[in-house]
């Protein structure tokens, strides 16, 4: 399918990770020029080198998009690099040691980092990007939510679920505001995706999660990338304010109180 986005420019925050790179490759395969953002400058540069080896046009613009000045700089550098900005994918977000704690054990630091890196960063980058979007009646914003919101959350990720729920609400309101300009705003809510984020799961946990899913496996990063690319295409002009689940149809996993699947 020709998505009619050849020559467009996309900024992908947190773009050096597995999910970000999958979206980058899907867009680049349609002729989109890429701006890869990551908090770690070396990761951003390495990701761009890999994309270059694959024949894609990309530059690295590292920076902490959870901070206002840095988010503004990242967006302005992205727009300036190719003389335009057409697509924003708000993919950045922290995890790791900040997850896996019940509400009474979530520190102020972890709450702030999770909310800021997911929800605040989405707001800051969107606000900064909007003046660049909508020229000639086209613009796309894609936000990454999660089944940890759509499925009601699970023990140990209350702050993460709150951030992803906030992203869903932000998406729907932004879509109503920006739709008249031809800028669509949509959110993708993945289930468990085969990335580094689940690398610490035990064989038992992996078996339990996949056996509960109607499709019987984890989501592939490329499947999320393909969905993101489609939403950026001209065939998706009328899709606006949507929260699209890509989870195999399973959102209500059974969880132990420590947050592990059972």
The reply to whether 204 falls in a domain is yes
CATH code of the domain covering residue 100: 3.40.50.720
**Average pLDDT for residues 167-188, to the nearest whole number?**
97
Place of tokens 């989405």: 122
State the number of CA atoms in the 13 A half-sphere of 198 facing the CB: 22
The reply to whether 209 falls in a domain is yes
The reply to whether 239 falls in a domain is yes
Domain count, the chain: 1
The reply to whether 2 falls in a domain is no
25-66, pLDDT tens digit by residue?
Answer: 999 999 999 999 999 999 999 999 999 999 999 999 999 999
- The whole model's pTM is what? 0.93
238-261, pLDDT tens digit by residue?
Answer: 999 999 999 998 766 555 555 555
The reply to whether 118 falls in a domain is yes
The reply to whether 250 falls in a domain is no
212-227, pLDDT tens digit by residue?
Answer: 889 999 999 999 999 9
Q: Kindly report the backbone phi and psi dihedral angles of residue 136, in degrees, each rounded to the nearest multiple of 5, phi listed first.
A: 60, 25
Q: Give the range among 78-82, 117-121, 154-158 with minimum mean pLDDT.
A: 154-158
Q: At what angle do helices 41-53 and 18-28 cross, to 10 degrees?
A: 40
End-to-end CA distance of the chain: 41
Coil, strand or helix: which one is 80? Answer: helix
b/e string for 109-124 if b means 16 or more Cβ within 10 A?
ebbebbbbbbbbbbbb
Q: Where are the alpha helices (DSSP H) in the chain?
A: 18-28, 41-53, 68-82, 108-115, 121-129, 147-150, 158-178, 203-212, 221-232
The reply to whether 151 falls in a domain is yes
Provide, rounded to the nearest whole percent, the portion of the chain with pLDDT above 70: 91
Q: What is the residue range of 172's domain?
A: 9-243
What residues act catalytically? 160
Q: Which residues pair with 84 in a beta bridge?
A: none
The reply to whether 13 falls in a domain is yes
> What does the chain come to in residues?
262
**Which pLDDT value is given to residue 227?**
98
């Amino acid at each position: 399918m020709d998505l009619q986005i050849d020559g467009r420019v996309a900024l992908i925050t947190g773009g050096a990770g597995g999910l970000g790179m999958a979206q980058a490759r899907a867009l680049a395969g349609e002729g989109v020029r890429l701006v890869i953002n990551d908090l770690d400058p070396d990761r951003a540069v390495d990701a761009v080198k890999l994309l270059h080896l694959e024949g894609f046009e990309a530059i690295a613009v590292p920076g902490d998009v959870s901070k206002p000045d840095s988010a503004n700089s990242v967006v302005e550098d992205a727009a300036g690099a190719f003389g335009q900005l057409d697509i924003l994918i708000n993919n950045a977000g922290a995890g790791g040691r900040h997850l896996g704690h019940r509400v009474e054990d979530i520190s102020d630091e972890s709450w702030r980092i999770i909310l800021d890196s997911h929800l605040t960063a989405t707001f800051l980058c969107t606000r900064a990007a909007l003046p660049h979007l909508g020229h000639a009646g086209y613009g796309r914003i894609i936000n990454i939510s999660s089944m940890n919101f759509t499925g009601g959350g699970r023990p140990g990720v209350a702050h993460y679920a709150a951030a992803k729920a906030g992203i869903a609400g932000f998406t729907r309101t932004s879509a109503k505001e920006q739709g008249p300009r031809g800028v669509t705003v949509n959110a993708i809510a993945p289930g468990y995706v085969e990335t580094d984020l689940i690398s610490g799961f035990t064989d038992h946990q992996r078996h339990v999660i996949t056996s509960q899913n109607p499709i019987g496996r984890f989501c592939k990063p490329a499947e999320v990338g393909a969905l993101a690319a489609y939403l950026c295409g001209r065939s998706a002009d009328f899709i606006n304010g949507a929260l699209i689940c890509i989870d195999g149809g399973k959102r209500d996993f059974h969880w132990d109180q420590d947050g592990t699947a059972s």
